[in-house]
Structure 1
């Protein structure tokens, strides 16, 4: 008779092999004495395997990841899974309630890790996530969107010098992988110090659901789980190899005025190409905004007015000799994930 897999222990609770349990971790009380809890859905497979943490809404207004988590929980049957899946749809519960990126004291939770049990509110929440979840995880996928009024092309950010993180990034099957630096105090940087391979998924805009971003994210997580041997189910078959970018930058407005964009997310641009025009609202003329280099548009501002110095277009640099390949990647991605017109 096969030996039964031991239960998964978290917050003094046990999750039996082949089952799913909702765990609520006390975070704090609001000043009206309302308790706040961190909701963790634990799916503990029947077979041994990795422990994957999937979390969203570290920034409380980034909603796409929440729906990705909701759909993921419905897709996975722990009785047919190896390893353990911890899903946290809303990490920054305070920001989510207020439809805000930040905590009530205006701090960025993703600069508070690993946190402290006796620190400020953000530090305490980060410490809870660090001790109860990150230290139990063998792999992490952190779900994000662009900031408010900014849209991001579906992309993975990871430290590609870490072999396991690179393997996760490639398996995810997003059109672009950005070899991105880790920022002090972030979940990803803290996980790296723990030796836990972590990738960050960016897609869409804050306070908005975007179907393409959500489908790409769900497919990506399923692909990573299959690569890790947790499930037999994959999100989608690979039709392309992702574009790997080594750096990125924001093109900023050098003028004041209305912004007339001439590019879209995912466009391949060349050095000197017209990206947009900055036009006077009084019809006195317009200035051309050009691309400083070859690259791919991975982020755009959605506000068509800007003062001088404001960020407008996020461009990722990659090998110019692979421009044709990048076109094919984006075409294949759009074919897979763009909503169908009925």
Structure 2
């Protein structure tokens, strides 16, 4: 028997087809409509229902290009299951290159939201109702924040066997067992019974090629593992490094930072990672690793204040 059409918003997508649509969010003061862009690939054959999302923070553009490339490679007639892609969740922040919404709320601390709540709450509620509620698995695409870059990594509940299987299939250099944050999409979706992988890679407002490439290949591997596409021909060069905890090294002085630590570098507790200077070149303070591990994030800002996070190390 043929599959049923997939319903989202006021639209129904027939099996073996793909369709772009828009879900109404709000209106600008000019009267122009603001909508959530969605593209659905509804395969001809049965399979899981999965969502991809990016730009929950408006300055995180890497995931937008990941979704563009993944969706462009899919044939609805050969696809199994359904894929719902939302490349830009924080539409208003994305238009201005701002991490937050105009009301200064962090959308990823506003889930599951409310139909009558703040703007952030309403967008979160719309996403939960129209996307998450229809899906079994989700991949939430992010980058570093506030002039920071991240090594490609998957954050997930590695103690859940099915989640761990998909995290391993993704094949990022690191998979980090990460706790749940209240108000996050991952938390709200988990409460609804969905498996969620959070992909972190690259720097805000940049199409970092290493981050985009690892994301595209990782998403394709997950789709193949779920049986939605044929097996990917590019297995990971080596298994993901499993990390169970992480922490930031913080600057102990205010100054100009020359950072030597590279993303992916293995470091030892007490190893020198960089140096702080004053504007005349006088050495103020060295920056040292506070644990053994791998560098999964670093600041790209040359000017730092005492207490600023400068290097993220996962153990």
Specify the TM-score bucket, using the shorter chain as the normaliser: over 0.9
Q: Return 286-295 or 107-116, whichever deviates more.
A: 286-295
Unpaired segments ≥5 residues, structure 1: 318-342
Structure 1 equivalent of residue 259 of structure 2: 261
Distance 1:31 1:257 in 2: 43
1:169 aligns with 2:174: no
Distance 1:53 1:234 in 2: 19
Structure 1 equivalent of residue 205 of structure 2: 207
Deviation at 1:235, TM superposition (A): 6.2
Distance 1:239 1:214 in 2: 17
Structure 2 equivalent of residue 245 of structure 1: 243
Deviation at 1:311, TM superposition (A): 0.6
1:229 aligns with 2:246: no
Q: Which deviations, in whole Å up to 9, do the C-alpha atoms of 1:301-326 show, x marking residues without a partner?
A: 00112111111001001xxxxxxxxx
Q: Return 79-88 or 279-288, whichever deviates more.
A: 279-288
Structure 2 equivalent of residue 136 of structure 1: 134
Does structure 1 conserve the Cα–Cα contact (< 8 Å) formed by 2:47 and 2:82?
yes
2:70 to 69, 72, 84: 72
Q: Return 285-294 or 92-101, whichever deviates more.
A: 285-294
Number of residue equivalences: 315
Superposition CA RMSD, Å: 1.0
Does structure 2 conserve the Cα–Cα contact (< 8 Å) formed by 1:59 and 1:109?
yes
Structure 2 equivalent of residue 189 of structure 1: 187
Does structure 1 conserve the Cα–Cα contact (< 8 Å) formed by 2:163 and 2:196?
yes
Superposition pairs of residues 1-342 of structure 1, within 5 angstroms: 3-234=1-232, 236-317=234-315
Does structure 2 conserve the Cα–Cα contact (< 8 Å) formed by 1:223 and 1:235?
no
Distance 1:106 1:54 in 2: 24
Distance 1:285 1:68 in 2: 41
Deviation at 1:236, TM superposition (A): 1.8
Q: Which deviations, in whole Å up to 9, do the C-alpha atoms of 1:92-132 show, x marking residues without a partner?
A: 00100111000001100001100000001000000000000
Distance 2:264 2:88 in 1: 28
Does structure 2 conserve the Cα–Cα contact (< 8 Å) formed by 1:8 and 1:16?
yes
Does structure 2 conserve the Cα–Cα contact (< 8 Å) formed by 1:172 and 1:223?
yes
Distance 2:57 2:166 in 1: 23
Residue 225 of structure 1 aligns to a residue in which SS? helix
Does structure 2 conserve the Cα–Cα contact (< 8 Å) formed by 1:112 and 1:122?
yes
Q: How does the TM-score come out when normalised to structure 1?
A: 0.90
Deviation at 1:5, TM superposition (A): 1.3
Distance 2:53 2:261 in 1: 32
Does structure 1 conserve the Cα–Cα contact (< 8 Å) formed by 2:275 and 2:283?
no
Moved over 4 A (4+): none
Distance 1:90 1:12 in 2: 20
Distance 1:109 1:162 in 2: 26
Q: Which deviations, in whole Å up to 9, do the C-alpha atoms of 1:261-284 show, x marking residues without a partner?
A: 121111100111101111222343
Distance 2:233 2:66 in 1: 13
Deviation at 1:239, TM superposition (A): 2.3
Residue 77 of structure 2 aligns to a residue in which SS? helix
Q: How does the TM-score come out when normalised to structure 2?
A: 0.98
Deviation at 1:244, TM superposition (A): 0.6
Distance 1:260 1:250 in 2: 17
Q: Which deviations, in whole Å up to 9, do the C-alpha atoms of 1:223-273 show, x marking residues without a partner?
A: 000000000041621321110111111100001111121211111001111
Distance 1:249 1:269 in 2: 13
Does structure 2 conserve the Cα–Cα contact (< 8 Å) formed by 1:222 and 1:235?
no
